[in-house]
């Protein structure tokens, strides 16, 4: 441990200088700024620091970088990261230039420093530190770095499908390094994540808005009609979804997952404050089971009629509602779509209702050996002193691709602090989080070799 930490601290200034160069390259995926320069920077860095065999994989969008390093055993671990960032937004909202890495109050500020450039370089520097101190890797390492995560990883699935059986056929484990750990500063191992399925319903009546004095009690109100459609798929009294097949694949929490949940922090007062609930009537286990193991049915947008000031006496001709469902376990998006068509088919065929799909990412739930979980869990503890295991992340990331396409277990280890402000002004990564990320990457190699 002392040898590890001494090496990392001795090279900290060099690591931060390289991170500064990385931040300055911008690599904003939606505008294409700095993409080519960033890919070139990473390729040269991986060859110089890790002696990696690097291949640039073209996609319809931004290229993927695949770097391979041979180790002593046949085990092959894939580490995932991304090099693209979000737009900085209004520059006046930043304390510092977003594309100039700035250290202040033991934090590193810059667009992408937390999501995901600092986390990506922490992986690379952890591997580099191990290689310098030990001379070779204990197992084969593959780095998979994409450039469109901030656009929803639109080409990740087709790219993996294209190269899975050629360039990635030896991979047996995937570790995703992205996201943020807990507010109490404890690092976390995540064993899965909820998926998401979003759609909108558009209820239509007349061909245009009509005066309510002319057609009141004659023309049907589209919002009232929309409520009737909604009643076919959701019971607002019980909170139960009535779509056929919706609950197929929802799994019960097993005993091991309940034990992991018991170790997680539970700040009831903060949750009440955030949610606006005066008295949250949930114990810790129930709270986390609701977040991790139960699907949702959430109305996130409703639009109909006149929304301006004052009164406009009209009957609108359409009403729209947007719905997102967080999915869990082995719920099937294709089966849910089939159920929607079965229930709403007559209304869709009549033209009174329109159904549009807005997005879909399947859930991911990793089940693997205790030995493999212990290896990663104890690596985090050895690097940082403490760790939690989350059975599932309540949010959604496209981790299903590693399980469904590569057929390997997937683990997520976030390296960023919870208040990183990613996608916001003043994005930051604490100095400790950056160094801890390097230590964790080192220990994932070191603990396996012991």
Strand locations in 329-419 (E): 353-361, 364-365, 387-390, 410-412
pLDDT of 450 reads 59
83-93 pLDDT per residue, tens: 999 999 999 99
pLDDT of 278 reads 84
Instruction: Report the CATH number at residue 183.
Output: 3.40.630.10
Distance CA 438, CA 450 (A): 19
Does 185 share its domain with 300? no
Total domains in the fold of the chain: 2
Does 148 fall in a domain?
A: yes
Sign of CA dihedral 172, 177, 181, 187: positive
Does 355 share its domain with 414? no
197-209 pLDDT per residue, tens: 999 999 999 899 9
pLDDT of 154 reads 93
Does 167 fall in a domain?
A: yes
pLDDT of 277 reads 85
140-178 pLDDT per residue, tens: 999 999 999 999 899 999 999 999 999 999 999 999 999
The DSSP call for residue 63 is P
| Helix %, strand %, coil % of the chain (to 5) | 40, 25, 40
Does 163 share its domain with 33? yes
- Given 321, 341, 361, the domain boundary residue is 361
Mean per-residue pLDDT of the chain: 96
For the beta sheet containing 428-430, the strands, ordered from the edge strand earlier in sequence to the opposite edge, are 102-104, 107-109, 428-430
pLDDT of 349 reads 97
- Best CA proximity match to 80, nearest among 23, 29, 134, 148: 148
pLDDT of 279 reads 81
User: 90: domain range?
Assistant: 2-193+363-449
- Best CA proximity match to 140, nearest among 445, 399, 417: 445
pLDDT of 449 reads 66
Strand locations in 242-373 (E): 298-304, 314-315, 318-327, 353-361, 364-365
Does 89 share its domain with 214? no
Does 437 share its domain with 353? no
Percent of the chain with pLDDT strictly greater than 70:
100
278-327 pLDDT per residue, tens: 888 899 999 999 999 999 999 999 999 999 999 999 999 999 999 999 99
In this prediction, residues 89-111 reach a mean pLDDT of 97
pLDDT of 193 reads 96
362-419 pLDDT per residue, tens: 999 999 999 999 999 999 999 999 999 999 999 998 999 999 999 999 999 999 999 9
Does 175 share its domain with 48? yes
Does 281 fall in a domain?
A: no
Side-chain-facing half-sphere of 91: CA atoms under 13 Å: 5
Does 76 share its domain with 186? yes
With contact defined as beta carbons under 8 Å apart, do 416 and 119 qualify?
Answer: yes
With contact defined as beta carbons under 8 Å apart, do 24 and 101 qualify?
Answer: yes
In this prediction, residues 191-220 reach a mean pLDDT of 94
Does 180 share its domain with 304? no
pLDDT of 168 reads 98
């Amino acid at each position: 441990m002392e040898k590890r930490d001494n090496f990392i601290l001795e090279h900290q200034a060099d690591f931060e200088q390289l991170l500064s160069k990385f931040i300055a390259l911008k690599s904003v995926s939606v505008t294409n700024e700095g993409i080519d320069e960033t890919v070139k920077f990473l390729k040269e860095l991986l060859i110089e620091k890790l002696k990696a065999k690097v291949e640039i994989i073209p996609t319809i969008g931004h290229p993927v970088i695949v770097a391979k390093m041979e180790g002593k055993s046949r085990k092959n671990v894939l580490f995932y990261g991304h090099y693209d960032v979000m737009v900085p937004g209004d520059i006046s909202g930043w304390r510092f230039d977003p594309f100039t890495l700035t250290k202040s109050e033991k934090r590193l500020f810059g667009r992408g420093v937390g999501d995901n450039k600092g986390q990506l370089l922490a992986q690379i520097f952890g591997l580099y530190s191990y290689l310098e101190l030990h001379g070779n890797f204990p197992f084969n390492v593959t780095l998979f770095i994409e450039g469109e995560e901030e656009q929803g990883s639109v080409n990740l699935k087709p790219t993996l499908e294209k190269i899975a059986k050629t360039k990635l056929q030896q991979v047996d484990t995937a570790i995703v390094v992205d996201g943020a750990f807990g507010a109490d500063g404890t690092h976390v191992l995540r064993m899965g994540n909820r998926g998401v399925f979003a759609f909108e319903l558009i209820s239509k009546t007349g061909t245009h808005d009509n005066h309510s004095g002319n057609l009141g009690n004659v023309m049907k109100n589209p919002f009232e009609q929309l409520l009737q459609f909604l009643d076919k798929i959701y019971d607002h009294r019980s909170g139960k979804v009535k779509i056929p097949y919706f609950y197929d694949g929802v799994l019960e929490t097993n005993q091991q997952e309940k034990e992991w949940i018991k170790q997680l922090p539970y700040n009831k007062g903060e949750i009440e404050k955030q949610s606006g609930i005066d008295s949250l009537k949930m114990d810790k286990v129930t709270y986390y089971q609701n977040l991790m193991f139960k699907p949702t049915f959430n109305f996130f947008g409703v639009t109909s009629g006149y929304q301006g000031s004052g009164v406009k006496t009209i009957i609108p001709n359409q009403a729209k509602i947007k719905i997102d469902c967080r999915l869990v376990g082995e719920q099937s998006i294709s089966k849910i779509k089939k159920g929607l068509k079965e229930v709403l088919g007559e209304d869709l065929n009549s033209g009174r209702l329109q159904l549009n799909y807005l997005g879909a990412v399947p859930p991911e739930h990793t089940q693997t050996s205790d030995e493999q979980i212990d290896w990663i869990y104890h690596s985090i503890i050895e690097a940082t002193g403490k760790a939690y295991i989350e059975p599932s992340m309540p949010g959604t990331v496209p981790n299903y691709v590693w399980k469904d396409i590569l057929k390997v277990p997937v683990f997520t280890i976030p390296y960023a602090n919870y208040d990183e402000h990613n996608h916001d002004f003043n994005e930051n990564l604490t100095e400790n989080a950056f160094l801890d990320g390097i230590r964790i990457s080192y220990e994932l190699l070191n603990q396996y070799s012991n």
